[in-house]
Structures are given as C-alpha cells and as structure tokens.
Amino acid sequence: MSLQIGDTAPDFSAVSTDGNINFHEFLGNGWGIFFSHPADYTPICTTELGRTALLRDEFAKRGTKVIFVSVGDLESHHGWIKDINKTQNCTVNFPVIADPDHKVSELYGMIHPNASSTAPVRSVFFIGPDKKIKAVITYPASTGRNYTEILRVLDSLQLTSQYSVGTPVDWQPGQDVVIATSVKDADIPKTFPKGHRTVNEYLRYTPQPGN
C-alpha cells in the first residue's frame, strides 16, 4: 500500500508499551507524527527515540502526539526502552507499538522489499487533526532522521493550514513567508496587515502571520 499526501491515515488497533492503542483515538483532535523503526536494540534507532523523548516539550507546545512502531514484540520493546533511557539520559514518554507480524508496517507501506523484506524503512508520517496525511519523509535504515527538519516541517504544516501562505526555501519559524497565488493583490492589505513586498506577479512575501 502506497500512502500519499492527502490520504486518510489508516486506523488500526495494536498493543504498545502504553497498553492497547486505537490509532485514531490516540491522535484525538490534534496533530500526530508516526515514526517507524527497522528493529529494536539498534544504535541509530536508540538515538532517535532518545532525541524524541528529550524534545517532549517541543512537540507538546505544538499540540502534537508522537508514536513509534518497531517490529519487535512488547517484551523486547520494554527492555529496549530501558537501554534508551540509560544511554540517552532521557525518559521515553510515548508509546512504541509492537509489530512482530508486520501488520502495521505493511498497512503503512513501511517495508520496502528492495531495501529489506522484513525491516521497515525510517518513515515519518505527519498527520493533521483531520486524520489526513500532510507530509511523508522516508530515510533508509542507515540514516538517522534530522529532528530540526522534522520540527521545521511541522511548523510549516501548522502555519500553512491556518493561513494562505507557503514557506520558501530554507524557511525557519519567524521568517517571511510567501503569499499564496490564490490571494489577489487587492486582498493582500486586508488579509496580511503586517505588510508585504512584491517581487513579481506570483512571488509576494509577507511577515509570518500569527507571531
């Protein structure tokens, strides 16, 4: 199954380190990020789960829940979390789904046969309050994720879901954004009272709304 931006994130029920999970109920009415991992007790995954735990406040202030899936079983997950907490100086505070039969990984297309027939790639699904997939980033098993970029993408998605803007290349929160081409020139002063600058008929900048 190949999930694309705009698709509804498939719902499922599974056991996790925080008990039984119904995915859509877990997400509630907020944003969510769903991460996959190739296996338990692997070095890159250990650093990533530790980093996620240390960024708890960053995700919380964005109203975003995080959840992971790995093909290990529940007993393996609990033992691995002890290692993560010890080696990364953190406290894992989010559920890790047990997926030994690969049902969840297959449901989300996380297993790429040309890479591995059993180990999920490092997928990141950004899911909006409407349960729609807003962005997907996929890394090979050998490459750890960039959490600065994950937070940047989340900030962009949340901003552009509220305002008729896009975020330009290398955008960082607080920088100018691009006015959507659907906004007519005559409507800009009312829509963006902070002002704007025009480069040409389709490239118009305005200070980030909502700051």
H or E element at residue 23:
helix 23-27
Q: Domain locations in the chain?
A: 13-144, 163-206
| 3-state DSSP helix/strand/coil % of the chain, to nearest 5 | 30, 25, 45
pTM of the model: 0.93
The answer on pLDDT for 99 being more than 60 is yes
With a pLDDT cut of 90, the percent of the chain lying above it is 79
Domain 163-206 - what CATH class?
Answer: alpha beta
From the candidates 14, 33, 45, 110, which is the catalytic residue?
45
pLDDT of residue 52: 97
**What is 13-144's CATH topology?**
Glutaredoxin (3.40.30)
Cα angle for residues 56, 101, 106 (degrees, 5° grid)? 70
9, 34 Cβ separation under 8 angstroms? yes
pLDDT of residue 119: 59
Task: pLDDT band for 25, please (50, 70, 90 cuts).
Answer: very high
Instruction: Share the mean pLDDT of the chain.
Output: 92
The answer on pLDDT for 115 being more than 60 is no
Catalytic-residue membership of 90: no
pLDDT of residue 177: 98
Q: What is the pLDDT of residues 125-152, one digit of tens each?
A: 999 999 999 999 988 888 899 999 999 9
